[in-house]
Amino acid sequence: MNYDVGANDSSTSQMHAIEGLRSCTLRNNAETVTSSKSETPLHVTGNKGRILTPAEAEKLMKDQSLVSDYKQQKLEREAQKNWDLFYKRNSTNFFKDRHWTTREFEELKACRDQNRLYNSERCKAFQCDLTKDDLLENVPPDSVDVVMLIFVLSAIHPEKMQLALENIYKILKPGGCILFRDYGLYDHAMLRFKSGHKLGPNFYVRQDGTRSFFFSDEYVAQLLTSAGYEVLVNEYVFRETVNKKEGLCVPRVFLQCKFKKSKSTEHIEHK
């Protein structure tokens, strides 16, 4: 699978970037919400990605050297171990519960209340690798209403993302949906990577061996539609995170989407 995002990585795009961040056009439905302790009161959605400053564009243009094939293969083999160590070190301290999921995704409220026969003793929790384990071994086909992919795909190698989505497709009900949120293209976390951490287009490795991919809306749309889903919502979320101690204000970019499985009984062909 080719995971190049195309125009967003082209020299034309980088030249366009020098127009500056202010030239980014946002949708008319932009909204402001109460900020958390570490964020300014900015929560803007839009159908245009973030435009780089000249310095940022130059930095990305210069950073073209990739991690060696040997190290990339090693990172793939040790992906599970590196993430296990990450969560052992950070526990629940890294991803704070800001209670934004039910605010952003109304479907979750309905899922919580829709089945009166729900019994927590019958809820099945299991661990799996979405890229290779068959979900049908634990979940009946066409039985799931909603699947959440919250900062999930970015941790998977781009060549395996579609395999994960096709795996999920088999258990999702016709008309069921995927709720997606992940790192957006040119997020501050992407721009912080120093030379020597790039694995591929928009794909990087952190110091601890965990990896992260940064999505454009075009890339996500192509990825999901190729796996058989229909697009409901596909937009950028812009926030500003403030580090008061260091006096920094950094732009955060996320991609938030809703995709549904067609109500048609036909399944996509799984390779």
DSSP codes, 168-223: HHHHEEEEEEEEEEEEBTT-HHHHTPPTT-EEETTEEE-TTS-EEE-B-HHHHHHH
Choose between 163 and 249: higher pLDDT.
163
pLDDT at 11: 31
The pTM (predicted TM-score) of the whole model is: 0.74
Choose between 39 and 257: higher pLDDT.
257
Q: Do 254 and 182 touch, CB atoms closer than 8 A?
A: yes
Q: Do 158 and 213 touch, CB atoms closer than 8 A?
A: yes
Choose between 25 and 60: higher pLDDT.
60
Q: Residue 23's pLDDT band (boundaries 50, 70, 90)? A: very low
pLDDT at 47: 74
| Residue 204 CB burial class (10 angstroms; 0-12, 13-18, ≥19) | buried
Q: Residue 155's pLDDT band (boundaries 50, 70, 90)? A: very high
Choose between 143 and 24: higher pLDDT.
143
Lowest-pLDDT choice from 102-111, 222-231, 244-253: 102-111
Please measure the distance between the N-terminal and C-terminal CA atoms of the chain and give it in whole angstroms: 13
- Judged against a pLDDT cut of 90, whether residue 56 lies above it is answered with yes
pLDDT at 40: 38
Lowest-pLDDT choice from 50-54, 161-165, 213-217, 239-243: 239-243
Q: Do 138 and 167 touch, CB atoms closer than 8 A?
A: no
- What percent of the chain is predicted at pLDDT more than 90? 54
- Judged against a pLDDT cut of 90, whether residue 113 lies above it is answered with no
- Report, as an integer, the average pLDDT of 136-146: 92
Beta-bridge partner residues of 231: 259
- Report, as an integer, the average pLDDT of 53-74: 94
Q: Residue 48's pLDDT band (boundaries 50, 70, 90)? A: confident
- What percent of the chain is predicted at pLDDT more than 70? 70
